[in-house]
Amino acid sequence: MPTTIADAQNLLSDLITRYSSHVDYLMIRLEEAEGTDILLRGDKVETLSEGISIGGHIRACHKGGWGLSSFNQLSTIKERIEEAIAAAQMVGDEETLLAPIDPIQAICQLPLTGTDPRKISLAHKKELCDRYTDLLKSVDHRITTTSVRYGDSTQKVILATSEGTLIEQSWVDMEMRFAATARNGETVQTGRETTGSRKAYEDLINLDEQVKGAAQRAVAALSLPSVKGNTYTVVIDPILTGLFVHEAFGHLSEADMAYENPDLLEVMTIGRRFGPKELQIFDGAAPEGHRGSYFYDDEGTPATTTQLIKDGVLVGRLHSRETAGKLEEAPTGNARCLNYHFSPIVRMTNTWIERGKTPVEDLFTGIKEGVYARNWLGGMTNGEMFTFSAGEAWMIRNGKIAESVKDVTLSGNVFQTLADIEAIGNDFYWDESGGCGKGGQNGLSVGCGGPSLRIRDVVVGGEI
């Protein structure tokens, strides 16, 4: 594969010139990726691998119809271009509507602030996983199962289009996941932690307290009472806020979801009020240093910061060039693909609720009986409905944090929940643990952030 714009320019320019007259739009994406994957379950090594992949894809659009062809042998690129063009011509029967962007010529790399993981040997990465496994097991004899996963990936992408764009962009991404399961008779509880970085390998080597915390929560939960299922005023921490804004609201802001679902498009009407005047929600790849950050998306659109909700009112949504063109809105730089096997689709980047003005301790004031939930174990969304499991939780009694409880799930309708936000904390935390899934493209790196929130009338599942 060509390694720089200079190496690739003649080849890509010749191909674009030769074939672009056959379609309305033509894009060639070349990709070189390398990475490490380690998975330990207890003392067993389930995965220990390093790999390199080289390939690319062609996207052609003709009369609104798209053709995609991927390859991993550069010698076949002409045939793949012809396949993509033929497919686009076969299905296209309308008008190609792509929001305009300026052609870009650029070489850019997301900067590292510390050590590149490619400079760390596989043996040292395995030693790090072994150390974290030992930490999980050392917390208590009731820890029966542990898992530690390490992954890093480096991607270099060269993007050329029939509109004159020629971009080389590269980045490094790292992630670790930890889980510990504790058992006491028939009672089983699990604690989890995930973290990631696009900055430095050093961000993964000093996680002892975080790792032990996962095991400690699992052990502690063995003896905790289950929460009594009811409707409560709930205070959630910034990590749960980040999960909520991404999973429950962010996906509904992706314009392909709305464009393909007229009912959702009607609900997500620009100018509609969804929450209190203090509520501000953003998404954007432009903020530096987060796992959803980049310079250009996979269509060559520059990264932006898009305000989705301003003063409680819906003011924006996330776009590819096609969704922006069809809805007559501005492109936002949110067309992303996991790798060259997939076509770019509308995806979140870094999604966050802006910090508010309420001191965190005041969020609890006046709550006679409620729930304080922190961190997360898992969750699911179905359209505008969501259910999340808290990693740990406490009852709130007479405005104070009281006894710990377990098995706390938070459920509701995202639009009603936004409307039920009573106060927004003045704290803020970026959670870099996100791996987003959509359209079969799972594990795309994203960032989530937010402050603590106080929300009334949240359905909390537990014992009846």
Domain with 132, as residue range(s), is: 5-221
Structure confidence at residue 4 (pLDDT): 45
Do 252 and 361 fall within a single domain? yes
> Could you tell me the pTM of the whole model?
0.95
Could you state, in chain order, the average pLDDT of each consecutive group of 10 residues for the chain (464 residues)?
57 92 97 96 96 95 97 92 98 96 96 96 98 97 98 96 96 97 95 94 96 96 95 97 94 92 91 97 96 97 98 98 96 97 97 98 98 90 91 97 96 96 98 90 95 98 68
Interatomic CA distance for residues 405 and 397, integer angstroms: 13
Do 116 and 22 fall within a single domain? yes
pLDDT tens, 188-232?
A: 999 999 999 999 999 999 999 999 999 999 999 999 999 999 999
Interatomic CA distance for residues 20 and 433, integer angstroms: 40
Q: Final residue of a domain: which of 221, 248, 265?
A: 221
Do 328 and 390 fall within a single domain? yes
Q: Final residue of a domain: which of 221, 251, 279?
A: 221
Domain count, the chain: 2
267, 290, 300: which is closest to 352 by C-alpha?
A: 290
Structure confidence at residue 41 (pLDDT): 97
Interatomic CA distance for residues 142 and 14, integer angstroms: 65
Do 199 and 269 fall within a single domain? no
Do 217 and 238 fall within a single domain? no
Region for residue 412 given its phi and psi (left: phi exceeds 0; alpha: psi -120 to 50; beta: otherwise): left
Whose tokens are 């602030």? That residue is: 113
Do 288 and 355 fall within a single domain? yes
124, 145, 126, 118: which is closest to 48 by C-alpha?
A: 126
Structure confidence at residue 253 (pLDDT): 96
Please name the helix (run of DSSP H) or strand (run of DSSP E) that holds residue 388, with its range, or none. Answer: strand 385-397
Q: Final residue of a domain: which of 186, 221, 256?
A: 221
Do 244 and 198 fall within a single domain? no
Structure confidence at residue 382 (pLDDT): 87
Structure confidence at residue 13 (pLDDT): 84
Do 271 and 320 fall within a single domain? yes
Do 211 and 250 fall within a single domain? no
What's the token pair of residue 404? 């710990």
Structure confidence at residue 463 (pLDDT): 63
Interatomic CA distance for residues 451 and 338, integer angstroms: 29
Interatomic CA distance for residues 157 and 146, integer angstroms: 36
Do 210 and 306 fall within a single domain? no
Structure confidence at residue 218 (pLDDT): 96
Q: What is the CATH number of the domain that holds 116?
A: 3.30.2290.10
Do 212 and 235 fall within a single domain? no
Structure confidence at residue 37 (pLDDT): 98
Do 188 and 239 fall within a single domain? no
